[in-house]
Structure 1
Amino acid sequence: MPVPARLPSWAWVTGLTAGALVVVTALAVQAEQGPHPTAAVQARPSASATADAKPTPKPSASATPAVPDGSGTGRRIVYALGDKRVWLVDASDATRRSFTVWPGTVSPDPGSYTVGTRTEATTGSDGVEVEHIVYFALADGISVGFSNAVDGSSPPPPASGVKTGGIRVHKADGEALWAFATAGTTVSVIE
């Protein structure tokens, strides 16, 4: 009785690899045609955040508060001082993104401002490396602007009496704000 020929191991590996590529490609095509998730709203940061703090669950996108009345119209950034929240609003008055922030010790007065200078990266007054800095106001002789820590950390508590105008945001929010806040963009600051 004749013995069947045996396939070499390279043929098995090649066949299995080709089959796996076909399966992965088919799954990728199906995933592309399915529903896509939207960005979740970040949890409100705590002023007493510590290195060992447990993360807070993020609320669903439907929990995003509406853009406050009296914050203007058209394409703008809305910064609510009391809520420590920012909205990125498009020209049709639709919210593109909303997130909480860690304000500095110096806040601008309520009113309408314009994005002026933008700086890609620098060291903040607290010694933390920051990026996506978007300046829009001057308060108490301090430049006020949005930024995020390069390492994604929350800001340390400022030293007593130190004036800081940096409004820290989460890293992903900083990237979105940087893309949205071109020079000349209106920033509406409200109570």
Structure 2
Amino acid sequence: MPARLPSWAWVTGLTTGAIAVVAVLGVQADRGTQPTASTSRPSAPAAADAKPSAEPEAKETGAEPRESAVPAGSGTGRRIVYSLGTRQVWLVDASDAPRRSFEVWPGTVAPDPGTYTIGTRTEATTGSDGVDIEHIVYFAAKSGVSIAFSNAVDGSSPPPAEGRSTGGIRVAKADGEALWAFGTTGTTVRVVE
């Protein structure tokens, strides 16, 4: 009758074999195609730089290009920054780095400069101007008008209705989706001049 190997010998043999297989695979992977560093800057995804279609490109009009830096004095930490003067929004992460920036179409009632908090979110409704909207993120009220970011369901960006008090700050559809994902209840909104 042949001698029986103890269990520790089997475990040691299997472990040694597994280590050898991993080492061989590692050597083969190391000999494969290696990535090379690129000296060119990566381009941003198209959605990250979406501009409202009603606004012509700055180079076509001779206008100043929109700002990419978060405005000074807009606070610190994770927040949404809305500039009344440039009609632009920044989604800023906890490390104070802007994650997305885009232009907006403000309503007829603007929030006062200051710090607000997102209190209510509504997935979809009809705006006070009769347009079907989605991704509504409420953060302020002024003169009895609720002020919120939203995008039109059809992606349009109509000018504010004449003679109506509207607090909707419209954004492009892709920007509305990004703002909805970023602007959870309790998120700080900083409005600056």
Question: Which of residues 166, 169, 191 in structure 2 aligns to 1:167?
Answer: 169
- 1:8-87 matches, within 5 Å, as 37-40=43-46, 41-43=49-51, 49=54, 56-57=56-57, 64-87=67-90
RMSD: 2.4
Q: Answer whether contact 2:50 2:174 (CA < 8 A) is retained.
A: no
Query: What TM-score comes out, normalization by structure 1 length?
Result: 0.71
CA distance in 1, matches of 2:52, 2:116: 24
Q: Does 1:128 align with 2:136?
A: no
Tell me the secondary structure at the aligned position of residue 176 of structure 1: helix
CA distance in 2, matches of 1:188, 1:135: 13
Gaps of 5+ in 1: 1-34, 50-54
Tell me the secondary structure at the aligned position of residue 148 of structure 1: strand
Deviation at 1:149, TM superposition (A): 0.3
Q: Answer whether contact 1:148 1:169 (CA < 8 A) is retained.
A: yes
CA distance in 2, matches of 1:157, 1:183: 26
Q: Answer whether contact 1:78 1:188 (CA < 8 A) is retained.
A: yes
CA distance in 1, matches of 2:66, 2:150: 24
Question: Which of residues 77, 87, 91 in structure 2 aligns to 1:88?
Answer: 91
**Cα displacement string for residues 80-127 of structure 1 (whole angstroms, at most 9, x for unaligned residues):** 001000000000000000000000000110000000000000000111
Q: Answer whether contact 2:149 2:168 (CA < 8 A) is retained.
A: yes
CA distance in 1, matches of 2:188, 2:69: 18
Deviation at 1:43, TM superposition (A): 3.3
Deviation at 1:156, TM superposition (A): 3.7
- For 1:110, the aligned partner's letter is P
Gaps of 5+ in 2: 1-37, 60-64
Rg larger in 1 or in 2? 2
Moved over 4 A (4+): none
Q: Identity of counterpart residues, as a percentage?
A: 68
Query: What TM-score comes out, normalization by structure 2 length?
Result: 0.70
- 1:99-138 matches, within 5 Å, as 99-138=102-141
CA distance in 2, matches of 1:93, 1:123: 34
